[in-house]
Chains A and B, each alone.
Chain A
C-alpha cells in the first residue's frame, strides 16, 4: 500500500536529532509494549508480515505522530482482536468478559531464551530454479498494490543489477494477508543513485535492496 510508512526519498520530515544519552526505554510502558508484543505473538495467531502490515494500516496522520512503541501497542490491540484472543470490549473495559476461561500462555519465562535464540527464519526450500543470477540486469516492476508489499515506491520501475541471491524466502505480499508463505527467490539488487533520483544525484552512491522475484523483470 502507498502509505506514509513508505517514506524513502521524502524531504521535510525534520532533523534527525540523535540523543547521545538515550535510554533503552524512555518509560516503563515501552518495555511492557515490547514484551507484550513478543509474548502475545507466541500464540501464532499472526505472522511477522501481518504485524508489520497492521502498523502500516494506522492512519497516516496518526502514524507520523505516534512513537514507535505506541504504534506497536495500537497494532497489537488490533491483531489480538482479529486473532480472537481478546474482544474490543475487553480492551475498552480492561476486564475479561464475564465467564471467559483462563488460558495457558504458550510462552513461559523458561521458554523466552530458546524462543529468542530460535527467532523466525524465513528461508524456505523451493523446487523451482531462480529466474535471475548474480550480474543480471533487472528492472523493478511498477506495482501499486493496496495490500502489504516490501517494494518501496522510490524503487519501483528502476533498473538495477543482481548482486547476490539469498535463496527463497517467505513472500510478505502473500503472507501478510493470510495467503500462506508462498516462498520465492529473494535477491540483493543494486540501484545507482542517479537511477533513483535523477541526474543531479550523488554519482558515487547506490542503494541496495532485498527484492523478491515477483518484484523484478529482466531489463
Chain B
C-alpha cells in the first residue's frame, strides 16, 4: 500500500481542524483510487466500463426484480408451477438472470415451513433478483449463527417463527442461488401484480422478514 511508507506527522494530524463533512479521504479511498488509476493507465480496465458496472447495480438490478417474481408467483398459478420446476427459466421470463443468478431455486414459505437463506463460507446471494447483499448478510454474526440458531437470528430482525413451523436454512455452498417466496399477505385478493410487489421487501426474500401486510404498507 502506498501510504505504508509515508512519514507520518502525528502532531500535524491532531492539530488539523476537522471540518465535518470534509474529512480527509480514508485509507481505503486512497488505496482504491491508486489501484484504479494504475489499472486505467495500464489499459487493463476501461473507466466507462467501471461506470456501467456501478450503474447496473445502482439503478438496474435490485430487490424490485425479485419482488416482481414473487408478485407474479402469487398471482399466476401457472407461473408458480414453472417457478417450481425451473426457477432460472421462470425468472428469465420476466427478464432477470445472469451474474450470480445463473442457477436459481425458489423456496416457498407456507403455514408449515419457513425458509432462510445464508452463505456460511462467503456471501453468495442471488444478485440477479435481489441486487448486492446488505452488510448484515455478509457479516460474521449472520453467517455463523443462521445455521445453528435460525430462530434466534430471525428474532434479531423482529421475526418470531412459531415453534411448530419447520425452519429450513439454505446454505449457498455451490452456484445455486435461493430466492424465498414469502407467503401472500391476507387481504390482498384481487390486487394487481404491481401493488403486490410493493409488499415484498428484500428481507422477506432472504427469509428474515414476512411480506408486508396491506395495513403496514398503507
Contacts and interface: CB of A to CB of B under 8 A. Distances in A.
B147 interface: yes
A39 interface: yes
A125 interface: no
Contact of B148 (A76, A172, A197): A197
22 contacts: A6-B120, A6-B121, A9-B120, A9-B144, A16-B141, A18-B208, A24-B132, A29-B32, A31-B58, A34-B54, A38-B53, A56-B122, A73-B31, A86-B39, A94-B35, A103-B43, A112-B49, A119-B101, A155-B171, A205-B169, A206-B167, A209-B173
A93 B52 CA distance: 28
Interface string A192-219: 0000110000101111111110000000
Interface in B14-36: 26, 28-29, 31-36
A207 B38 contact: no
B194 interface: no
A117 B175 CA distance: 16
A169 interface: yes
A208 to B, nearest CB: 5
Interface string B40-60: 011111101111111011100
Contacts of B135: 19, 22, 67-68
A91 B169 contact: no
Contacts of A100: 42
B171 A152 contact: yes
A16 B139 contact: yes
Interface string A15-48: 1111100101101110111111011100100000
Closest 5 CB pairs of A and B: A8-B120, A210-B174, A109-B48, A103-B43, A112-B52
Given A9-B120, A39-B46, A94-B2, 17 more contacts: A9-B144, A10-B144, A13-B145, A32-B33, A36-B50, A39-B49, A80-B39, A96-B42, A115-B99, A117-B98, A119-B98, A120-B102, A202-B151, A204-B167, A205-B150, A205-B168, A206-B168
A29 B141 CA distance: 24
B112 to A, nearest CB: 9
A5 to B, nearest CB: 6
Given A5-B122, A16-B157, A27 B171 contact: no
Contacts of B171: 8, 152, 155, 207-209
B5 to A, nearest CB: 8
B153 interface: yes
Interface of B: 1-2, 26, 28-29, 31-39, 41-46, 48-54, 56-58, 61, 97-103, 105, 118, 120-123, 128, 131-132, 134-136, 138-148, 150-151, 153, 156-157, 163-176, 203, 208
Contacts of A115: 99
Contact of A18 (B97, B134, B166): B134
A34 B61 CA distance: 14
B44 A207 contact: no
B178 to A, nearest CB: 9
A150 interface: yes
Main secondary structure of the interface of A (DSSP, over half): mixed
Nearest to A97: B42
A50 interface: no
A86 B122 CA distance: 26
Contacts of A170: 175
A141 B82 CA distance: 35
A95 B38 contact: yes
Contacts of B142: 16
A133 to B, nearest CB: 18
Contacts of B165: 204
